[in-house]
Structure 1
């Protein structure tokens, strides 16, 4: 019997991971590369992805022709113009059976035991994606404030922390711990010093201020709690729009939460607000946090694409993989 071999690739803006496994979930090879986002550097992205794949193949001692299916989760695979570029790029790597998708989809697959579901990725920016049982996929976000994106992301929370501290200092907001914590985190001795430096030198709030919002909320700060709850509702709104468009309201599925903002467990207010918003639209859905590397989702997607039913034992083996 011919051995079934599956390749999963997670190509991001800073690093690329490749993972080669057999049908039992046993790791055959691993590969690593640099920037895999074609939007920022096409040639570098292609080289990074090719290098990671070849490294995994060499470690396993197998050829591209022996790979049953290769699945590529790619940062920057956002719109059809991106796929026009990516389809020939990935095809040129030489894997006969392959598929590509945005990296949001492999993050979703890595967090759930089903081939369908939804995902919210909240880090510097905010993205959401969903796939229904028929395989239809939609995604949202990543294009910036002008397109209605990013509300509640790390960048947005940092700005809210900064402006809330200023507003409270000026008396336009109720007292908040942020008045003390924000300038302290940015290395200023006072709000006045921070205020003047921002105005006179066009200083922008550091993304690290998002952490301050969670710290203040953990201490019971009403302003921080309100901001996180509003952010959670916006996160829920982003994925709910996709759930409704894909007709998933009455299905049972997972909404996978991932990204640096959602991985912070110091304050439950944002996640609680997400749960409330999602359940109002999809009462049988549940939120889960991503606990494995997204490249595992790429391998699972390769198996799904080959009509392989992933057993509980194989699922468990895949979730134990470390890179």
Structure 2
């Protein structure tokens, strides 16, 4: 009998990661490609998933035909709506089987190694998720710009909005405002032209500039971090209200926001045991 392979996929608004394991849990190969959020293009997202899978196969010394013995677990952003989930499931992946949940679900599963708990993802986007026995659910995570508070994209949007008003003398300017406007040659028209096609990751690209100016004691940067921390704290409290004892902070900007959280929440914050790929692989094994 041909041995099963287990594939974990973590697909978000910036990148797609793949991890391939054998039946013993040994990592055989990994892959990394671009955006895998179907809300921003179904074919692009699914092709990036396949590309990351092929990278993992190549690293493992395996071949394209070996996809047919893969048990796949997908954790994807942008599948909150059933139509988006169905579109991905029906796209035509060549795997032996496929189970799929949100990237928040798999991140929570991995963070607590399948046990009860909650997470707050703070990356390009943001989302809270909790698992308690057979129940689970999300807080936020409805997508940018209507949701995604305490995220890189939200920070970038709020910073640019303020910088544009400062440029016109509506509000006081700061060095951060000047740095942001310089990116657009100090032209409001250039910002408007840019935002017509800008994706969440494009807004999130300004987050490092904000963090750099926090270190320089820029008043706007500090104000933005304080607001993000207040949003994060509200989501953490909502997660703890679901009856879980702990919350793990994950995502690329979580380390910048954590120091700004209220001290009263710190006893409930824990380090994740695993990542979203770990959770996707747990899900694949349970769903086979």
Same fold (TM over 0.5): yes
The reply to whether residue 85 of structure 1 matches residue 82 of structure 2 is: no
How many pairs are equivalent? 277
Which residue of the partner structure matches residue 156 of structure 2?
Answer: 158
Residues 182 and 212 in structure 1, CA contact (< 8 A), matched pair in contact too: no
Q: How does 1:110-259 map to 2 (within 5 A)?
A: 110-145=110-145, 147=146, 149-162=147-160, 170=169, 179-187=174-182, 194=186, 197-198=187-188, 202=192, 207=203, 208-244=205-241, 247-248=242-243, 251-259=244-252
Unaligned runs of 5+ in 1: 307-323
Q: 1:152 to 1:167 in 2, by over 3 A?
A: farther
3-state DSSP class of the match of 1:128?
strand
For 1:201 and 1:114, the matched residues in 2 are separated by: 44
Q: 1:17 to 1:158 in 2, by over 3 A?
A: closer
CA contact (8 A) 1:107 1:119 kept: yes
Q: Secondary structure at the match of 1:76?
A: coil
- Does structure 2 retain, via aligned residues, the 8 Å contact 1:130–1:239? no
* SS at 1:150 equivalent: coil
Shift of 1:101: 0.9
Compared CA separation, residues 301 and 256, structure 1 to 2 (3 A): farther
Give, in angstroms, the shift of residue 234 of structure 1. Answer: 0.6
Residue in structure 2 matching 1:271, options 258, 262, 284: 258
Do the aligned partners of residues 214 and 169 (structure 1) sit closer, same or farther apart at CA in structure 2, a change above 3 Å counting?
Answer: farther
Distance verdict in 2 for CA 1:86–1:132, change over 3 Å: farther
| Other structure's SS at 2:134 match | coil
What's the secondary structure of 2:10's corresponding residue? Answer: strand
Alpha-carbon deviation of 1:136? 2.2
* Aligned partner of residue 120 in structure 2, secondary structure: strand
In 2: Cα distance, 1:73 partner to 1:27 partner? 18
**TM-score for the superposition, normalised by structure 1:** 0.66
- Distance of aligned partners of 1:185 and 1:168 in 2 relative to their CA distance in 1, 3 Å threshold: closer
Q: Deviations over 1:232-253 (max 9, x none)?
A: 1112223433443xx32xx333
| 1: CA distance, partners of 2:5 / 2:95 | 15
| TM-superposed deviation, 1:202 | 4.0
Which residue in 2 is equivalent to 1:288? Answer: 271
Q: 1:217 to 1:39 in 2, by over 3 A?
A: closer
Residue in 1 that maps onto 2:96: 95
In structure 2, what is the Cα distance between the partners aligned to 1:186 and 1:172?
Answer: 14
Q: Deviations over 1:139-164 (max 9, x none)?
A: 5224334x4x1334334323444565
Match of 1:19 in 2: 19
- Cα pair 2:69 2:96 within 8 Å, conserved: no
Q: Can you give the 5+ residue segments of structure 2 that lack an aligned partner in the other structure? A: 196-201
1:28 Cα deviation after fit: 2.3
Instruction: Tell me if the contact between 1:182 and 1:209 (Cα under 8 Å) persists in the aligned partners.
Output: no
Which residue of 279, 282, 288 maps to 1:297?
279
TM-score after normalising by structure 2: 0.72
| Alpha-carbon distance between aligned partners in 2 of 1:101 and 1:296, rounded to the nearest angstrom | 13
**Bigger radius of gyration:** 1
Which residue matches 1:37? 37
Q: Secondary structure at the match of 2:148?
A: coil
SS for the counterpart of 2:100 is strand
